[in-house]
Amino acid sequence: MGEGFHGKTTGNTNGKSFDGHSTAIRKVYAAIEKYAATDTPILITGKTGTGKEVCAEMLHHYSGKTLTPFITINCAAIPEQLLESSFFGHIKGAFTGADRDQLGAVDIAQSGTLFLDEIAESSPHLQAKLLRFCQDYNYAPVGSHKVKKANVRLIYATNKDLPNLIQNGKFREDLYYRLNSVTINIPSLTDRRVDIPDIAHKFLETYNAAYEKNIKGISDNALQLLCHYEWPGNVRELENIIKNIVATENCNYILSAMLPNTITSENQAYSSPRTKANLTNHHAPLWKIEKRAIENAIALSGGNVTKAAKALEIAPSTIYRKMNTWDEK
């Protein structure tokens, strides 16, 4: 395999999955369940660090092709002059330095899934090649006139606004419509704060095992800080924070003092009287205010709906009923 892409032929997702039960992430679960077993190309959108590759791996895992390859090619990590070769392969002598035939990602992914990450970074030349490939799945290695037929499931991902790139002439409109038959958007972590306790504890469990530690949990104060932080790096940022703490601390619990200054300083701004007044005076539909209150309560209860319901002085069934109504909005 060439530089810039990698593959897996295992029958599982290497433990990777989304954690949580928020309305936003349950919509992602539903989309994965609906489209996993189809051969429909899928475009995954979302900000950096939200878990787009996790979504692609879950689609592959639940496709019924778990023993076939899952190949990732990162369009931003490969030099432009090598992208076409990395994708389609090349024959000996196709260009300077091509001293032997080389299979491409399409060849290696046969019967499985080919995941093109950061598709917005592909060059105009490769975009033209991809458009032709998507029409009939025929391709030829660089330097060859021998046409091959691909049997792959295509999944794409981007953190960019493709319609905006189209308007600016940086992405082909015809390719966009080829890719956009099904779109799954991965929500930002701030759009599913209720899931933060579950995610944080899952990472704690993972890195306890990796570093042979036995940190028992996360303090209430630290958890509250995590739940109020804005998370520009999304789930990936949360993972790195938990990983670094587990790797460097010898403690029974993760405490607020162990969190990075970016989190503690931002939360101090959040709790200032002026900020609180602005939040209080912010007008919103009643259902959104209820949703925010319920999700905050669940987050501060460590993901325990029963405990959150008790704090809100309502029945757990009321929370579940309201969460179902949010799915419909």
| Residue 212 sits in the same domain as residue 150 | no
Q: What pLDDT does 284 receive? A: 63
DSSP, collapsed to helix, strand or coil, labels residue 153 as: strand
> pLDDT per position in the chain (329 positions), as tens?
334 444 443 334 444 678 888 889 999 999 999 999 998 999 999 999 999 999 999 999 999 887 899 999 998 888 877 888 999 999 999 888 889 999 999 999 999 999 999 999 988 888 998 999 999 999 999 999 999 999 999 999 999 999 999 999 999 999 999 888 899 999 999 999 989 999 999 999 999 999 999 999 999 889 989 998 999 999 999 999 999 999 999 999 999 999 999 998 766 544 444 444 444 444 567 677 778 778 777 877 777 888 888 888 788 888 887 777 776 65
Q: Kindly state whether residues 133 and 244 are assigned to the same domain.
A: no
Question: For residues 52 and 185, what is the distance between their CA atoms, to the nearest angstrom?
Answer: 9
Q: How many residues does the chain have?
A: 329
Question: Do 219 and 143 fall within a single domain?
Answer: no
| The pLDDT value given to residue 7 | 44
The per-residue pLDDT for 162 is 95
- What's the whole-model pTM score? 0.78
Closest Cα to residue 143, out of 196, 104, 93, 209? 93
Q: What is the CATH number of the domain that holds 142?
A: 3.40.50.300
User: Are both 171 and 138 inside the same structural domain?
Assistant: yes
Structure tokens at 73: 């090619």
Residue 109: Cβ within 10 Å count: 24
Exposed / middle / buried, residue 224 (Cβ in 10 Å: 0-12, 13-18, 19+): middle
Do residues 130 and 28 both lie within one domain?
A: yes
pLDDT at position 300 is 74
**Beta carbons of 208 and 167 less than 8 angstroms apart:** no
228 and 271 share one domain? yes
Boundary residue ending a domain (185, 203, 236) = 185
In this structure, the dihedral spanned by the alpha carbons of residues 122, 127, 129 and 130, taken in order and rounded to 10 degrees, is: 90
| Cα 88 to Cα 100, 148, 182, distances in angstroms | 14, 10, 24
Q: Please tell me whether residues 26 and 172 are part of one structural domain.
A: yes
The count of structural domains within the chain is: 2
> Looking at the DSSP assignment, which residues form a beta bridge with residue 253?
217
Residues of the domain holding 81: 5-185
Q: Are residues 172 and 259 in the same domain?
A: no
Helix axes 23-35, 52-61, angle to 10 degrees: 40
Q: What is the reported pLDDT for 293? A: 78
